[in-house]
Amino acid sequence: MRRLIVLLTVLAAGSVPALAQDHAVGARIGLLGIGVDYAYRVNDLISVRGGVNGSGYSFDETESGIDYGFDLDFDSMSLGVDVHPFTGAFRVSAGLLNNDSGLSATGAPAGSYTVGDTTYPADEVGTLFGRIGFDGTAPWVAVGWDWLRDKKLGLALELGIVDQGPPIVALGASGPIASDPGFMADIAAERAELQESLDDLDLYPYAMFGFVFRF
């Protein structure tokens, strides 16, 4: 919410009289969540664009024989430059993402947990929980199309890749055995296995579609 307020403040400050359609506000949805953008057209070739993205999604998955409930949180701010090489709809973009997106995982209680190579009673382990995050600053590149660019209202599509780095995995438990050295070693092995299974998320492809209003 704080980020949205900051962006809206920037939008209000940028609403001073200017050349027609130098400013644009966009709303979009896609694989970075639900987003709001503000763009300023420097000239026919170049625009500067910033935005915020956020939303969440929950799902269940089994990793290493343990049932996890995952909460995927999209939370990011972006700043980039759009280049329209032909001064038309097509654009090439690049920038940086302030990336607070991540996954929270909670192990579903059952009769026992197999952690590493050892099976533990569920009441001794308690809840198995984890957090999967990524680099706080992530570069991105994209191509897109800004249809009806010279009209008040238009459509936009963007296809890109975020280099968010390898996942940073934290894993722990809430039960009385959590501080046992043998259990801690098994948790470390489980964390390494979970991180390896998620390594492909370092390069995150995305697509975003939305509407643009110019003023």
Tens of pLDDT, residues 57-86: 898 887 666 777 889 899 999 999 999 999
DSSP 3-state helix, strand, coil percentages of the chain (rounded to 5)? Answer: 15, 55, 25
1: pLDDT strictly greater than 80: no
What's the pLDDT band for 108 if we cut at 50, 70, 90? low
Average pLDDT over residues 131-142: 93
Query: Residue 191: its pLDDT value, please?
Result: 84
Q: How far is residue 75's CA from residue 56's CA, in Å, rounded to a whole number?
A: 9
Q: Which residues of 16-49 are buried (b: 16+ CB within 10 A; e: fewer)?
A: eeeeeeebbbbebebebbebbbbbebeeeeebeb
Query: Residue 82: its pLDDT value, please?
Result: 96
pLDDT in tens, 7-62: 434 443 333 333 346 899 999 999 999 999 999 999 989 999 999 999 998 988 87
The matching CATH number, chosen from 3.40.640.10, 1.10.287.90, 2.40.50.100, 2.40.160.170, for 2-214 is 2.40.160.170
171: pLDDT strictly greater than 80: yes
Strands (E), 64-89: 66-83
Average pLDDT over residues 125-148: 90
Q: What is the mean pLDDT of the chain?
A: 84
3: pLDDT strictly greater than 60: no
Q: Are strands 23-30 and 203-214 parallel, antiparallel or unpaired?
A: antiparallel
Query: Residue 77: its pLDDT value, please?
Result: 96
Q: What residues does each domain of the chain span?
A: 2-214
Average pLDDT over residues 169-197: 85
**Residue partners of 114: CB distance under 8 A and separation at least 6:** 64, 65, 66, 120
The two tokens of residue 120 are 């533990």
**Is residue 142 within 8 Å of 159, Cβ to Cβ?**
yes
